[in-house]
Structure 1
Amino acid sequence: MITNKTLELMRELTQVIAVSGNEIKISKILQNYYREYTDEIVYDNLGSVYGVKKSKKQNAPKVMISSHMDEVGFIVKDFTKNGLIKVLSLGPACKQGLLGQRVRVMTNDGEEYKGTIVAKSNNDKDKVLDADKILIDIGASSREDFSSLGIKLGDSIVIDGSFEVLATGKRIMSKAWNSRYGCVLGIEILEALKDVELDVDLYVGCTVQHEVGLRGSQTATNLISPDLAIVLDCLTADDISGDSDAVGKLGEGVLINFYDKSMMPNRALLNHLMTTCKNNGISHQFYYSMSDGDGGWIHKLLRGCPTLNACICARNVENNSSIIDVNDYLGAREAVTKVIKSLNTEMIEMFKTENR
């Protein structure tokens, strides 16, 4: 059963505007939670942030639990004489159905204005719009209006997507589930482990600039130098057709992600996640992806470290109306928390020597 506390945390973190390169607003929120549950906070110089829960054991191995905090969106590229905004896309914005979508524009001072995506002409209304050629109308009628509103080149824009618990209570729709799922889960893992003595130094946090090239994962890994890493992300569900062979089904549990194009997971660590799920009756499903993720950099930087994806799937994953299943989230939370509790120096060394 999901609690109102978890739902409110989900609502808070999904509704923040934080596109790549301007994640400071959600970073400040994350830092407030990390201060409540950890011993210190560490940062890289791009903006990635991690709360650190220290072990009482000397020379404890470092375990990195990582998500990303940025979301797909746009930045202001230019203004037209008649008061429209031109944009540059940040990340793989879905081109289908852009026309008429409502947007939120955020200034550098945090002021927000609402608007909508418009077509250049009536002939464009039946076309799939190129994300970098859309225009946004916020009610301005001239270039001068933007100056008076404090809107400048480079300001952030997202397609609006409210947080909604859907009819049965089993599924939740919102913008930015990729990967505010991981932001929420990281906080709740820290809360669950607040009074638990671990055999590892636990680093839980989020990277920046994921959607424009997995940049924060590189600098954050260099900062922490982890001995083991678990990546939390929201991946594509492919279950719309109802095909029993579909890869990634809502409600079927945490993903046992045995392949993506940027990382082959540590097999022993993957098996440990699977065994943990089986032994505790946690729903899980096998999954592979032709996309890439932060784990692709984390596992191979420095000397490399055993790395695992502990993800859930979503419909409309890069969209402002993404849908996740409550039970998938709860299962992932239980599975990752139990895996972390089980870790010690000997087990991590076993994972490291898996391929020797």
Structure 2
Amino acid sequence: MIMSETLKILNTLTQTISISGDEKNVGKCMAQYLEPYCDEIVYDNLGSVFGVKKSKKENAKRVLVITHMDESGLMITKINDNGSAEFIEIGKINKQYLPGSRLRVKTKTGEVNAFVVGTEKMVIDFGTYSKEETLALGVFVGDSVVVDGPFVKVQKQCISKALESRVGCLMAVELLKAVRDKEFDFDLYVGACVMEEVGQRGATTATGLVKPDLGVVLGCKIAKTLDEKDQSVGELGKGLLVSFYDKGMMPNRGLLDALVQICKEEDIAYQHYYSMDLNEGAWVHKLFAGCPTLNVSIAIQNAYSAIESMDLNDYDCAKKALTVFVEHLNEEKIQEFKESNR
């Protein structure tokens, strides 16, 4: 089962406010967590961050293990005369949870607490009564806002805001830690990109930076555990997701078969999954000459809310399968995956 240090890192990652386009704070966390286990830290020009484990081989192939670190949130667009503020949504927001929610507003100097009032026409209330009082708090147009969702462990699950955005970050850190003493004949890039929630923008620039020969996308997909429909997929507690289709990527069949084989050999619980969403793989797999790409993910419940939940054993399953997959990779296998659709 997950150790306390893992939970401590996940707590820090989820509670850091970093909506799309304003990811610097969580990017600093990622650099700090990755740095002890890699040879160097590299960035693209939008802020995506990766720890690089270099091969001793010249002109080695490149493997990109990527997730995203931005979370959905709100952005202040206007401060009204009565002290309240209007906003727009940045990324996906589960609107049913917004009315009455407590908020955390990231200002240039710190954080301010607030809450949402209204149902149809919702505004942010700072507990002030004039525009001047709100401005005196350091709040300005363009500030980032998230719904307050503390990190809590509940039996076999964790509940928090931003789990959907930060579980992949945790997995990336723990992968690099697990293989820190391994020697590979390929260069390994592990890290997180920006602006996924607003159109996978960081995935495009990060792929341009690395130019990978093989890609692995980490993260979460929407669970259907409590869905009463006949065709429910992605149940919490049933293991990692073997994603055979999503809106943005037709996965490499050789990679899918390899992941399933690892799960069988290592007695790792897994479940097949499909969705009409998309993630970083939509860009990683098709830029330049193309790149065989695999999703390694887990199901998450109440996505895009302050009470997202994940199963701890599902995370363990995904982390173990990912680690074994990377440990067994070599230049020959990478080339086989690149040629598997010919």
With normalisation by structure 2, the TM-score equals 0.98
Counterpart-to-counterpart distance in 1, 2:177 and 2:229: 38
Partner of 2:182, secondary structure, is coil
> What is the 5 A alignment of 1:105-116?
105-109=105-109, 111-116=110-115
Counterpart-to-counterpart distance in 2, 1:151 and 1:115: 11
Residue 32 of structure 1 deviates from its aligned partner by 1.0
Residue 98 of structure 1 deviates from its aligned partner by 1.4
* Matched residue, 2:335: 349
* Matched residue, 2:140: 152
Preserved contact between residue 171 and residue 325 of structure 1 (Cα < 8 Å): yes
Counterpart-to-counterpart distance in 1, 2:108 and 2:249: 36
Counterpart-to-counterpart distance in 1, 2:285 and 2:277: 16
Residue 241 of structure 1 deviates from its aligned partner by 4.0
Partner of 1:258, secondary structure, is strand
* Matched residue, 1:309: 295
Preserved contact between residue 20 and residue 71 of structure 1 (Cα < 8 Å): yes
Counterpart-to-counterpart distance in 2, 1:43 and 1:57: 22
Whichever residue aligns with residue 164 of structure 1, its letter is V
Partner of 1:66, secondary structure, is strand
Counterpart-to-counterpart distance in 2, 1:288 and 1:40: 36
Counterpart-to-counterpart distance in 2, 1:156 and 1:118: 18
Partner of 2:158, secondary structure, is strand
Question: Does residue 325 of the first structure (1) align with residue 324 of the second (2)?
Answer: no
Partner of 2:96, secondary structure, is coil
Partner of 1:335, secondary structure, is helix
Q: How many residues align?
A: 342
* Matched residue, 2:32: 32
Preserved contact between residue 10 and residue 170 of structure 2 (Cα < 8 Å): yes
Q: Deviations over 1:167-197 (max 9, x none)?
A: x2x1110100112000111001111111111
Preserved contact between residue 42 and residue 50 of structure 2 (Cα < 8 Å): yes
Whichever residue aligns with residue 147 of structure 1, its letter is L
Task: Choose which of 239, 245, 249 in structure 2 pairs with 1:259.
Answer: 245
* Matched residue, 2:45: 45
Counterpart-to-counterpart distance in 2, 1:214 and 1:38: 25
Task: Choose which of 159, 163, 166 in structure 2 pairs with 1:177.
Answer: 163
Alpha-carbon spacing, 1:5–1:244, altered in 2? closer, same or farther (3 Å): farther
With normalisation by structure 1, the TM-score equals 0.94
> What is the 5 A alignment of 1:83-122?
83-109=83-109, 111-119=110-118
Task: Choose which of 121, 142, 151 in structure 2 pairs with 1:163.
Answer: 151
Partner of 1:233, secondary structure, is strand
Question: Does residue 268 of the first structure (1) align with residue 254 of the second (2)?
Answer: yes
Counterpart-to-counterpart distance in 1, 2:6 and 2:301: 20
* Matched residue, 2:275: 289
5+ unaligned residues in a row in structure 2: which ranges?
none
Whichever residue aligns with residue 51 of structure 1, its letter is G
Whichever residue aligns with residue 24 of structure 1, its letter is K
Partner of 1:262, secondary structure, is coil
Partner of 2:335, secondary structure, is helix
Residue 242 of structure 1 deviates from its aligned partner by 6.5
Whichever residue aligns with residue 192 of structure 2, its letter is C
Whichever residue aligns with residue 189 of structure 1, its letter is L
Alpha-carbon spacing, 1:222–1:241, altered in 2? closer, same or farther (3 Å): closer
Whichever residue aligns with residue 71 of structure 1, its letter is E
Preserved contact between residue 299 and residue 306 of structure 1 (Cα < 8 Å): yes
Partner of 1:36, secondary structure, is helix
Counterpart-to-counterpart distance in 2, 1:319 and 1:159: 8
* Matched residue, 2:76: 76
Counterpart-to-counterpart distance in 1, 2:125 and 2:229: 41
Counterpart-to-counterpart distance in 2, 1:92 and 1:244: 26
Q: Deviations over 1:285-328 (max 9, x none)?
A: 00001111110011001111000110100111111100100000
Whichever residue aligns with residue 257 of structure 2, its letter is N
Residue 108 of structure 1 deviates from its aligned partner by 2.3
Counterpart-to-counterpart distance in 2, 1:145 and 1:343: 58
Preserved contact between residue 234 and residue 317 of structure 1 (Cα < 8 Å): no
Residue 244 of structure 1 deviates from its aligned partner by 7.7
* Matched residue, 1:191: 177
Preserved contact between residue 126 and residue 134 of structure 2 (Cα < 8 Å): no
Counterpart-to-counterpart distance in 1, 2:304 and 2:295: 18
* Matched residue, 1:2: 2
Partner of 1:2, secondary structure, is coil
Preserved contact between residue 97 and residue 305 of structure 2 (Cα < 8 Å): no
Single out whichever of 190-199 and 214-223 deviates more from structure 2.
Answer: 190-199
Q: Deviations over 1:30-52 (max 9, x none)?
A: 11112111101111111111110
Question: Does residue 340 of the first structure (1) align with residue 300 of the second (2)?
Answer: no
* Matched residue, 1:235: 221
Counterpart-to-counterpart distance in 2, 1:103 and 1:274: 41
Preserved contact between residue 249 and residue 281 of structure 2 (Cα < 8 Å): yes
Identity across the alignment (%): 46
Preserved contact between residue 268 and residue 321 of structure 2 (Cα < 8 Å): yes
